[in-house]
Chain A
C-alpha cells in the first residue's frame, strides 16, 4: 500500500490517501501557481495521464490476503475502512439506501468465509467487489427494483447538462462563436487555502452525495480512491468512454459548485 501510494504521489497524482485527512502533497504541487495572466504551454502531468498508473491493486494485495488468512485483525479493519465508501457506492447502484450497509456487511462476511479458498486469479479488490456486485444484483432483481445498469448509465451520460452553462460562451451571431464570453475568474492566491479548508472538503463531500448513483461511484473510485480508469470501467461493466463521460459530469458539477462558492466567499 505504502509503496503504491508513494509511486502515485511521486508521479504528481491527485489520488487518494490511505489515511483520512492525509493530503497528497505532491498533488498540490502538481497544480501550477494561480494564473496571473500567465499562459501555460503544457499542463503538468497528472498521474493518470498517458499510461494507466496502476494496472490493478498493488503488491500489498498478497500481503492483505496473507494477513486476513493469518487472522490479523488490524489488517482486516484497515481493509474494511478503506473499501467502505467504494463498496457502499457500488451497492447504491443496485439497492435502495436502507439496504446498502447491510449488503456491504454481508459481503464482508462472505469474504471472510471465502478467503481461505480464494484462488488469487483476480486481485483481492476485484474479488471483493465481484462478491458485492453479484449479491446486490441478485437482491435487486429479486425485489424487482433494479434498473439495468445500462439504462442508468445511458440516462446519466446522455443527460444534456453541459460542463459549463452555454450562455457563458459567445453564440453563433456574436464574435468568436463558441469561445468564452464570461470566462471563469482565477481563484486567486487564496486558492491553495480554499482547497485545503476542511469546510471546502465537506462541501465537496456533500455535492458528491447529490450526484446520480453511477456518477457518484465513478468519481469516488477515480478521484477519492485513486482507481485507474480501466479498473473502474471493468468493475462497473461500462465502457471506458462512458466511464469518462460520467466522471466528467461529476467533476464539472463539483467545479461549478466550487466556482460559485469561491465567488461568494470573495464577494464578502
Chain B
C-alpha cells in the first residue's frame, strides 16, 4: 500500500525556510489538522497561522460547517422491496423450525 500523502502542488517555493505556513499550504492540511494527525511542530505552525490569518480562519470555519451539513444530509431509504425480502428471510431463519 503506497501512501501518496498530499501531492506537491505548483505553489512556488515549497518552503521559504522561516517555518511559516502559507495559506495555499494550510488549505491542503486542514483535514489532517482537524483529525489531530499533524506532527506537533506542524500543528503548532498551523495553530499560529490560523490565529493570524483571517482568510484561513474563515476557511476553517467553512470546512467545519461543511462537515456538519454533510453529517445532516438525508439518509437513504432502504427500498421497501428489499426490506420486505430481508424480513422474510429473517422470520424464516428466526422461527423455531428455521435457522439451524
Contact = CB atoms under 8 A, between A and B. Distances in A.
Contacts of B34: 43, 46, 48-49
A37 B52 CA distance: 11
Interface stretch (A54-62, A77-85, A119-127, A132-140): A77-85
A245 B35 CA distance: 12
Interface in A171-206: 171-172, 177-180, 183-187, 191, 195-196, 200-202, 204-205
Nearest to A220: B70
A166 B9 contact: yes
A187 B63 CA distance: 11
Contacts of A187: 61-62, 65
A247 B29 CA distance: 11
Contacts of A186: 58, 61
A251 B67 contact: yes
A27 B11 contact: no
A4 to B, nearest CB: 15
Given A49-B35, A169-B24, A248-B30, A158 B51 contact: no
A150 interface: yes
Given A14-B71, A77-B83, A109 B64 contact: no
Contacts of B35: 48-49, 229, 244
B71 A43 contact: no
B78 A185 contact: no
A31 B61 CA distance: 7
B55 A48 contact: no
B60 A239 contact: no
A221 to B, nearest CB: 11
A268 interface: no
B75 to A, nearest CB: 5
Nearest to A171: B12
A88 interface: yes
Contact of B73 (A49, A108, A201): A201
A158 B68 CA distance: 26
A88 B77 CA distance: 11
Contact of B11 (A166, A200, A248): A166
B82 A184 contact: no
B73 A241 contact: no
A30 interface: yes
A28 to B, nearest CB: 6
28 contacts: A15-B71, A27-B71, A28-B68, A35-B61, A43-B33, A43-B34, A71-B91, A71-B95, A73-B91, A77-B87, A105-B82, A105-B86, A157-B7, A160-B7, A162-B24, A164-B24, A164-B27, A169-B11, A179-B53, A180-B55, A184-B55, A200-B69, A201-B72, A201-B73, A223-B71, A224-B73, A239-B2, A244-B37
Interface of A: 14-17, 20-21, 23-24, 27-28, 30-32, 34-35, 37, 39-43, 46, 48-51, 71, 73, 76-77, 80-81, 84-85, 88, 101, 104-105, 108-109, 112-113, 116, 150, 153-154, 157-158, 160, 162-164, 166, 169, 171-172, 177-180, 183-187, 191, 195-196, 200-202, 204-205, 208, 219, 223-224, 226, 229, 237-242, 244-245, 247-248, 251-252, 254-255, 258-259
